[in-house]
Structure 1
Amino acid sequence: MLWNKFRQGSLKMLGGQLFFKGLVCDVTLLYNFLPLGIGSTIKISYFEETMQKRSIYIPKNALSHEHWQQLLERRT
């Protein structure tokens, strides 16, 4: 299970879904143009309220290889 603590909440993986503050998230891979994924970033998006979309950007070097792979498996 991936668990990362942020200032305003936590990121958790449960049952094949990714959640932030209890809200279901979409995962998108950005900037994957260099070999070995150098410079890659994952965008995690969620809706806080009606029509209020929020995003978190996490660079590859901020996570372990195992956690990075777990996030990639949940891409939308």
Structure 2
Amino acid sequence: MTVRPTTDADILRVVDMVEPLRAAVGGLVAVDQPWIAQVGARLIASTDTGFSGAGFIAGSLQPALTSPPPVAMEHGL
């Protein structure tokens, strides 16, 4: 799987994917689309965030609890 840099155009694509994903897995938490857009914009502004070829947030590089070197942290989208 390839990971590419994120762009502003990715935000609405992600927002549109979340409700169908929540419904498909029977998620109990309500989807807050404005919040998703805000978080997406913050992640896109970060230099350590990428998107998979399918358009899902792949994660950001951050230190783990168990190790200081950065690892890919999933964001659940």
Whether the TM-score (by the shorter chain) exceeds 0.5 is: no
More contact order relative to length (CA 8 Å, sep ≥ 6): 2
Q: Which is greater in Rg?
A: 2
Q: TM-score, normalised by structure 2?
A: 0.27
Larger helix share, 1 or 2: 2
Q: TM-score, normalised by structure 1?
A: 0.27
